[in-house]
Structure 1
Amino acid sequence: MAANKPNKLAFLSMPAPASYVAGLGRGASGFTTRSDIGPAREGPSAEVVADAQAKRGEEPDIDPEQFQDPDNEYGLFAGTTYEQDDEEADKIYDSVDQNMDARRRARREARENAELAKHRAERPKIQQQFADLKRGLSVVTDSEWESIPEVGNLTRKKRRRDERTFAVPDSVIVGDRAKTEYENSLDTRQQQAGGFETPADSGALTNFVEIGQARDKILSLKLDQISGTSTTSGSASSVDPKGYLTSLNSVVLKSEAEIGDIKRARMLFDSLVKSNPKHSPGWIAAACLEEHAGRMVAARKLIKAGCEQCPKSEDVWLEAARLHNNEDAKVILANAVQHVGQSVKIWLAAADLEQDVKAKKRVLRKALESIPNSVRLWKETVNLETSAADARILLSRAVEVIPLSVELWLALARLETPDRAKAVLNKARKSVPTSHEIWIAAGRLLEQEATSDPDKPVEARNKELDVVDKTIEAAVRELRRHQVLLTRDQWLKEAEKCESDGSPRTCEAIVKATVGMEIEEEDRLDTWVSDAESAESRGVVGTARAILAYALKVFPDKRHLWRKAADLEKAHGTRESLDKILTRAVHHCPQAEVLWLMAAKEKWMAGDVPAAREVLERAFVANPESEQIWLAAVKLEAENGELGVARELLVRARTVADTERIWMKSAVFERQQGQHTVALETVSTALSKFPKFAKLYMIQGQIHQEQKNYPAARASFAAGLKACPKEVTLWVLASKLEELDGKSIKARALLEKGRLVNPANEVLWAEAVSVEERSGGAAQAKAMLARGLQECPSSGILWSMSIWAEPRPTRKSRSVDALKKSKDNPMITCTVARLFWAERKIEKARQWFSRSVATEQDRDFGDNWGWWLRFERQHGTPEHVEEVIKQCVAAEPHHSPVWQSIAKDDKNTGKSTKEILELVAQALQ
């Protein structure tokens, strides 16, 4: 029985079943090592896989198409053949698909970008989340870094020490032993007589005389080499004994690598000049190499050989002249003109070598005898003449010899009197009928002649200037007849050149004659406006003015065109020119209220109040129901002390125009005059007419607040919030009223409700933060600020408050984040400027203040001007202060919190922009 008992451990020697995974029943998963996937082990065959699937009861995967007969296909198009028309149809369908995809691509890419930006905003990377913390590490001091404890071994395991030993070689031991031993035996080379053999005992004698002579000879060769001369060349040495030691400082010591490069290059150039001796650049390069190596004698020999081999190359002769001194160069160039007498460069180089003006003239006249048709030689000869009469004679001869040179004709015309200059230009026009420069010079001459006499009557001067226009028109016509077709851009460049040369009427004539060329009729207006803007940006105001003047002749009824012309004259012209433009503008566009207002304002700013009244009276006739003109008339009378007239105008305006803004201005006017009862009655009447106008509720509530009637003010603001819940200013005023009444909790509740009605509004969040700060809750203010930045991530005012809430060391890094998020908001740039101001970086602060008012939109932000003025008063000069005030007055800002609170205060009614700026600068903290 014992023999037949089965062995329970026999399964250990049994082969494992197919696809067996050890520990799979306990939840383990199989793994393979690197040795399992090498070339020595192959994967299971298809039969083994099928056998394993059969044992598990799985059905093998069968490809449904593996038994499909390709000749017996089934389907809609089975049995058909793929022909050429099928291929064309497929191509058409593909092209349609591509076009449809291209049409949808822009929207799809925009949607994908928006989704990606939203995803990145919701789930930023770890690197972005901790960017500000990583920047904060920059302020950690060295002592703080050193005080950080070492991490040490946190595994709580004993590490084995590496106690490997090595056997020391015998050579090291023997060498160390030999260091301490002394040699106590004599040298085997000693002689029997004792001592070593000396040169004197060997019979050799030292000749010190020969050594001294050799030294002197080497020194003389060195001196000759440094001086650039040698006794073997036949010329005397030119060493300066006084400046020799000083000149040694300029000797460049070359390294072995440079010497090796020079030797290789010398070999290459030597091969080049030997294989191709008629190649002049090879001789020049070889001579330059020797010059660089400091071997002037060799360089001169090489260039001399080059002159002999290439006598017709002017470059070789010029290089030879350069490598020699002045006297030798004259001899070389004298030989050069024997071989290349038609080279202008040779003659000009020979003239440059002469120090005397008479000698220069003599050389150049000899050159003109050889090359009479060289314009450059004639110009150089004329430039040497000191008297205008001699230069005129030379130019007269020059234009006879070279009648096609426009430069010479124009130079001659400039030297002649006006009457003779006309004759010269007529001859030049006949000789060179294809030159537009001659026609333009004729126009400039006529303009100069017309404007030279200041006592000339205006009518006569205008008639003469009209001839300039006719001349340029004839120029364009004649040039076109001779097939000279200058483009429109080329003509405009010539006009700009005339303006810069002091000929504005010629510039205007060119613009009139050519600005309409090569333009489609429907594109003329846009093209001319863009041309005028680009010309103004380049500083050529006359060209821009001429383009707009021509455009206004073609389109006299375009309001925006007149506005551009008026803005151009306001920026770069005079009061008279602006007045002329505006007078013409209101004549052609009587319905344009802006032009009437600009005309009246310019008269008023010039101090001519009656003329401003007259302009507004004519504007009333053309626009009887215009509220802007009515309000401008009221402002004119009120600020000039005519309060009764202003009140009557408001009464008439409420009857004629009857707009909400006129009613509002009427209430504001009565409030400014202290008539609070009349102002409240006016507001009540206006609210019955315009119940949705928020500013009426604001005025009513502010009047009650000034009278300490808080319940009535609260009722006015509540009615306004009910009628206009989207008006942010009403929520802020209501909150400030509650805070003034000592009810900060209600103020917070109002702002919370306002944020629910107006989500993502930076003004409401900023006011909520200010309420917390005024209540003394710094932690609550910081938390509120963080919530506001989450909802308004690009808000300039919130980022500015966040920067100032940070400790001083981290403000700069916070400002970097603010600039990235807010896209250069003017409040952020002003805040950065204030940070530099606090760090005493004056120039950087001034640059950032300038950036904060750079664009037209930024210039409307008044608080930035106030901060800049405070900065310049503390650190700038009086000129800097005046420049800031001047720019601010020109910008006329109207917005920003402090500026609006001061400008709309009843105490500051009628004050100028400069006075408001001073008050803002004093109020800022």
Structure 2
Amino acid sequence: MSLRAGLNQNKDKYAFLHLAAPASYVAGLGRGASGFTTRSDIGPAREGPSAEAIAEAKAKRGEEEEEAFGDPDDESNLFAGTVYEADDAEADAIWDSVESHMEGRRKARREAIEAEELAKERATNVKLDVKFADLKRGLSDVTDNEWENLPEVGDLTRRRRKANLRMAENGNGKSYAVSDTILAGAVAQNATVNELDEKQMSGEGFNTPALIQGTETDLVGIGQARDRVLSLQLDQASKDASASGLSSTVDPRGYMTALNSQVLQSDAQIGDIKRARQLLDSVIKSNPKHAPGWIAAASLEVHAKKMVAARRIIAQGCEQCPKNEDIWFHAAELNTPENAKVILAKAVQHLPQSVKIWLKASDLEIDVKAKKRVLRKALEYIPNSVKLWKEVVNLEDDPDDARILLGRAVEVIPQSVELWLTLARLETPENAQKVLNRAHKMIPTSHEIWIAGGRLREQDGSKETVDKLIALAVKSLTKHNVIMTREQWMKEAEKCETEGSPATAQAILKATLHLDVEEEDRQAVWLDDAESATGRGFIECARGIYAYTIQVFPTKKAVWRAAADFEKEHGTPEALQELLAKAVEYCPRAEVLWLMAAKEKWLAGDIGGARDVLTRAFEQNPDSESIWLAAAKLAAETGQMEAAMQVLEKARTEADTDRIWMKSAHLLRQLGKPDEAIKTLDEAIVKFSHFDKLYMMKGQINEDKDNIPGAREAYSKGVKACPKSIPLWILSSRLEEKAGITIKARALLEKARMQNPKSEELWAESIKVEERAGSAGQAKTMLARAQQDCPVSGILWNMAIWMEPGSGRKGKSVDAIKKSSEHPIVICAIGRLFWAERKIEKARLWLGRAVNADKDNGDLWAWWLKFERQHGEKERQDEVITKCAAAEPKHGQLWPSISKDMKNVGKTTTEILELVTSEIR
């Protein structure tokens, strides 16, 4: 097909191609084109429609359409030349329907909101016509005669003015304070000037054309004069009253003070009081027998500072409600003590059975005899009141008289446990037992009487019978259907311990601990009870629980161990030794109990007794490693080195464990025999090739001999045999660093971290290697890598805190305490920061928290002692040393290296603490 033929075909297909273009048509105008320019022709490539064409287009579609569909922002340019077609009209119709629909929805919502707001407004701000609508409706019932008889409103102003004038003539008129300005003006107006001032004398005043305005007024003098006049009036009033024989109602001295002390009430408060008075007046008139209404009305007058009206109202209330004790009681409180006595005397005539009124009447009496007289009179009316009997007995100074009164009281009120117990306390031990026996017969369901009997036996010294008595009490109460829970009995036991009866408390626990506890849970529950009692401070109760638990489970090692730990902390050394002696008899195979018994003998200075305990322990446990080592340590600590060596030699044949071989080598090293120690270690390594401490000790002995190759060989074999031993890797690295080969030290630590990933000790040692090498930047980089591997490590966060400059340490410590879950080392670091800022109390608090969190870390104890040496008293320092000696710490970053140094062998924990304190930086 030729090109011409294709064009002809397109013309036939698209009919608009041969039509004329619209008058306002511009090619590309819809895509934003407005013509183009060339370098030689400035201007549009094609002119737009002419003004005539635009006018013609407007005429065709009409000005109204242009106004209806034109752009309100730009009606002359935007879509000015377009044609409004049918699809445009359809679209506009659709949009109009949408707009009308949305407007309907918005109108409904708006009308609902407006109706709700109008209802709220009408509820809060009620119109006057609505308020008085009921009154208006009531006007329809008014008769014509009532309308005619309504009084006319007169001119009250004229009548009041005449009355005031009449009172002024009689000297009783009202006085008003005159303003100081008015007084000063009157003085200036009536003043006469008899001399010239300086300006007039100099001639300047005569040259002034205008009259000088204003006068100088001494307002302070006027105020003082007014006060003097008021004082004279008060004195004159007082004299006139004295002369006439009447008591003056004016207090000249306290008048001004009373005026200053008056509390002025606002109009709102006065209005509230008036409304409340009207309401209460309506209450007491509509129901005069309602006592709370009278009390409320009197209280309102008290609040309004009208005591006379309050007393008058409460007196009327007492007449209307004579059988209500509250209103009599309130009336007595509103009156003076003398009047209150009269009021209460009337009250007891109407309410002779009211204990409250009789006690109030007794309290009003000042004389003790008068109090007794009132109370004894009350007992004539109410003989079965325990309160009255107690008050009567408390007023008696003579025990014999009190005993007689209580004897009469228990006859009148035999069911009062409190009176029986009080009588028993006043009697002699023999008579007290008789009283309690009578009480048992009268009140067989009272556990207090049984407990009082047990306490009485304990005071007499017969503690053996206390357990039997309390056991009998539990049976008797159960027989009489008195059910008490286990927790209630424990509270009674704790109460007995608080009141000084430990044997009774323990007897109660022994008789009731088994209640409400399953048989398989008894041991766990009782041990928890003992710990709970210890935490609350009831030591004797906890001791009784342990004793009963041991009695039920005599062969349980855990029970004996818990009891021994309790006695070690809260008991005496003698009691602990006695307990351990019984423990090893019931649990002869418990090595820890034998060792504790021997150690307590040793600490008490009884070396022979400790040796006897270990001898007996050997008989029961011939293959026990711990007992062999304890025997060797006992001999070494007492200076018997040869005996210690013999014990260890025998132990190597009897027990033959890795620790026994290690202790043997350690003892040889301590005796100054390094070659024999290395020989012993070589034999042990052959038997126990995976025990890392053997390699560590061999390397350390070679280091002491300056045999670096031998030490290197020992450590090298050790890390191969025990690749998971972190201390062995650290010792090997430090040896290379000591020899000056820092590169090899770094390589060893890198290899160690590959064998032991996420090890904070290895990362910390790598950082310290960089710090000792003087590479601070490399140390920080290493720390960043370490914290990525161990984000919660307290050791690394501690190093991060001290690597920061002084200004950034506080912020870093906040992150450290959060990320490390309050690690003891981080807590210690925060305490040291407070120490550096001289915040002594905060530093002491945080260092104490660190030690309590990890008592086995000796470095923390050393930091605390160093702090107290600088800022604490001698008592605080001694307290830290004592607590550290009791804790016997074994770990830390610096503590082990000093405690295991051969120069410090045999030193006590206190001596090691002093050495570590002097070394920490």
TM-score of the superposed pair, with normalisation by structure 2: 0.75
The alpha-carbon distance between structure 1 residues 500 and 38, as it changes in their structure 2 partners (threshold 3 A), is farther
Q: Secondary structure at the match of 1:746?
A: helix
1:486 and 2:489 equivalent?
Answer: no
* Partner-residue secondary structure (3-state), 2:896: helix
CA distance in 2, matches of 1:838, 1:653: 53
User: What residue number does 2:596 align with?
Assistant: 598
Which residue matches 2:638?
A: 640
2:288 to 277, 288, 291: 277
1:793 matched to 2:812: no
Q: 1:372-771 alignment to 2 at 5 Å?
A: 372-450=383-461, 464-771=462-769
Per mean C-alpha deviation after superposition, the further-off stretch among 251-260 and 362-371 is: 251-260
SS in 1 for 2:438: helix
CA displacement, residues 12-67 of structure 1 (integer Å, 9 cap, x when unaligned):
999xxxxx9999xxxxxxxxxxx999964779xxxxxxxxxxxxxxxxxxxxxxxx
2:328 matches 1:317 = yes
Instruction: For residue 244 of structure 1, report the CA deviation from its aligned partner.
Output: 6.5
Shift in alpha-carbon separation, 1:379–1:5, aligned structure 2, 3 A: closer
1:854 is paired with a residue whose SS is helix
Counterparts of 1:631 and 1:745, CA distance in 2 = 41
Deviations 1:160-194 (A, max 9, x none): xxxxxxxxxxxxxxxxxxxxxxxxxxxxxxxxxxx
The more displaced of 402-411 and 267-276 is 267-276
TM-fit CA distance, 1:889: 1.4
More moved, 763-772 vs 465-474: 465-474
CA RMSD of aligned residues (A): 3.0
1:341 is the counterpart of 2:352: yes
- Structure 2 contact 702–708 (Cα < 8 Å) conserved: yes
Decide whether the 8 Å contact of 2:168 with 2:174 is kept in 1.
no
Residue in 1 aligned with 2:64? none
Mapping of residues 192-271 of structure 1, within 5 Å: 214-215=174-175, 251-271=262-282
How far apart are residue 849 of structure 1 and its match? Answer: 1.2
CA–CA separation in structure 1 for the residues paired with 2:913 and 2:880: 10
1:678 deviation in Å?
Answer: 1.1
Q: Is the deviation greater in 317-326 or in 252-261?
A: 252-261
Residue in structure 2 matched with residue 874 of structure 1 by the alignment? 870
State the 1:673 CA deviation. 2.1
Unpaired runs of at least 5, structure 2: 1-7, 34-90, 100-163, 178-229, 235-245
Amino acid at match of 1:861: N
Aligned to 1:46: none
For the residues of structure 1 that align with 2:812 and 2:596, how far apart are their CA atoms?
Answer: 44
Separation of aligned partners in 2, 1:404 and 1:756: 82
The change in CA–CA distance for 1:7 and 1:844 in structure 2 (over 3 A counts) is farther
Paired AA for residue 871 in structure 2: H
Secondary structure, counterpart of 2:309 in structure 1: helix
Query: Residue in 1 aligned with 2:106?
Result: none
Rounded to whole Å, the distance in 2 between the matches of 1:449 and 1:249 is: 68
Indicate the SS of the match to 1:329: helix
Match of 2:280, as an amino acid? F
How many residues are aligned here? 721
Q: Which amino acid aligns with 1:919?
A: L
Distance 2:394 2:672 in 1: 80
Cα distance 1:283–1:589, how it changes in 2: closer, same or farther (>3 A)? same
Query: Could you say what secondary structure the match of 1:797 adopts?
Result: helix
| Alpha-carbon separation, structure 2, partners of 1:36 and 1:717 | 94
- For 2:817, give the aligned amino acid: L
Q: Distance in 2 between matches of 1:709 and 1:210?
A: 129
- The within-5 A match list for 1:146-157 is none
- How far did 1:652 drift? 0.9
What letter corresponds to residue 711 of structure 1 in structure 2? Answer: P
Residue aligned with 2:435, SS: helix
- For 1:519, give the aligned amino acid: V
Would the alpha carbon gap of residues 212 and 831 (structure 1) be closer, same or farther in structure 2, given more than 3 Å must change? farther
- Amino acid in structure 2 at the alignment position of 1:885: I
Letter in 2 for 1:340: L
Residue 307 of structure 2 corresponds to 296
Matched residues in 2 for 1:846 and 1:13: separation? Answer: 92
- The structure-2 alpha-carbon separation of the partners of 1:343 and 1:714, relative to structure 1 and needing over 3 Å to count, comes to same
DSSP 3-state at the match of 1:860: coil
Q: Secondary structure at the match of 1:214?
A: coil
* CA shift in 2, pair 1:13/1:417, >3 Å: farther
Cα offset for 1:861? 1.3
Distance 2:314 2:450 in 1: 50
Give the structure 1 partner of residue 160 of structure 2: none
CA gap 1:625/1:370 in 2 versus in 1, 3 angstroms: same
**Deviations 1:636-660, CA, capped at 9 Å, x for gaps:** 1111111111111111111111100
| 1:363 and 2:323 are equivalent in the alignment | no
**Counterpart among 881, 886, 899 of residue 882 in structure 2:** 886
Change (3 A) 1:624 1:12: farther
> 1:351-387, CA deviations, whole angstroms, 9 ceiling, x for partnerless residues?
0001110010001001111110000000011000001
Shift of 1:465: 2.2
1:24-35 alignment, distance < 5 Å: none
Q: Does 1:908 align with 2:904?
A: yes
- Output the CA distance in 2 between the equivalents of 1:728 and 1:579: 40
Inter-partner Cα distance in structure 2 for 1:408 and 1:705:
83
* Per-residue deviation, residues 834-866 of structure 1 (Å, max 9, x unmatched): 1111111111111111211224xx111111111
- CA distance in 2 between partners of 1:365 and 1:241 (Å): 48
3-state secondary structure, aligned to 1:407: helix
The SS at the match of 1:557 is coil
Q: Structure 2 vs 1, CA of residues 853 and 277 (structure 1 numbering), >3 Å: closer, same or farther?
A: farther
Amino acid at match of 1:311: P
- Distance in 1 (CA, whole Å) between partners of 2:292 and 2:852 is 56
Letter of the 1:283 partner, please give it: W
**CA 1:5/1:854 → structure 2, altered by over 3 Å: closer, same or farther?**
closer
Deviation track 1:489-531 (CA, whole Å, cap 9, x = no partner) reads 1111111111111111111211121111222211111111111
Please give the alpha-carbon distance, in whole angstroms, between the structure 1 residues aligned to 2:354 and 2:660: 85
Q: 1:433 to 1:692 in 2, by over 3 A?
A: same
User: 1:253 Cα shift?
Assistant: 4.1
For residue 671 of structure 1, report the CA deviation from its aligned partner.
1.4
Which deviations, in whole Å up to 9, do the C-alpha atoms of 1:744-779 show, x marking residues without a partner?
A: 111111111111111111001111111111111111
8 A contact 2:165–2:173 mirrored in 1: no
What CA distance in whole angstroms lies between the structure 2 residues aligned with 1:38 and 1:737? Answer: 92
User: Judging changes above 3 Å, is the alpha-carbon distance between structure 1 residues 244 and 667 closer, same or farther for their aligned structure 2 residues?
Assistant: farther
Residues 296 and 783 of structure 1: CA distance in aligned 2, closer, same or farther (over 3 Å):
same
* Preserved contact between residue 454 and residue 466 of structure 2 (Cα < 8 Å): yes
Compared CA separation, residues 268 and 850, structure 1 to 2 (3 A)? farther
Q: Which structure exhibits the higher relative contact order, with contacts defined as CA atoms closer than 8 Å and separated by 6 or more residues?
A: 1
Q: What SS does the corresponding residue of 2:308 show, helix, strand or coil? A: helix
Match of 1:27 in 2: none
What are the superposed Cα offsets for residues 96-135 of structure 1, whole Å, 9 maximum, x if unpaired? xxxxxxxxxxxxxxxxxxxxxxxxxxxxxxxxxxxxxxxx
Distance, in Å, in 2 between the alignment partners of 1:514 and 1:835 is 53
1-structure distance, mates of 2:580, 2:415: 49
Structure 2 SS opposite 1:529: helix
Give, as a single letter, the amino acid of the residue that structure 1 aligns with 2:403: R
User: Which one has a bigger Cα radius of gyration?
Assistant: 2
In the alignment, which residue of structure 2 is the partner of 1:899? 895
Residue in 2 aligned with 1:120?
none
Kindly provide the amino acid, as one letter, of the partner of residue 396 in structure 1: G
Distance in 2 separating the partners of 1:581 and 1:885: 28
Distance 2:469 2:415 in 1: 22
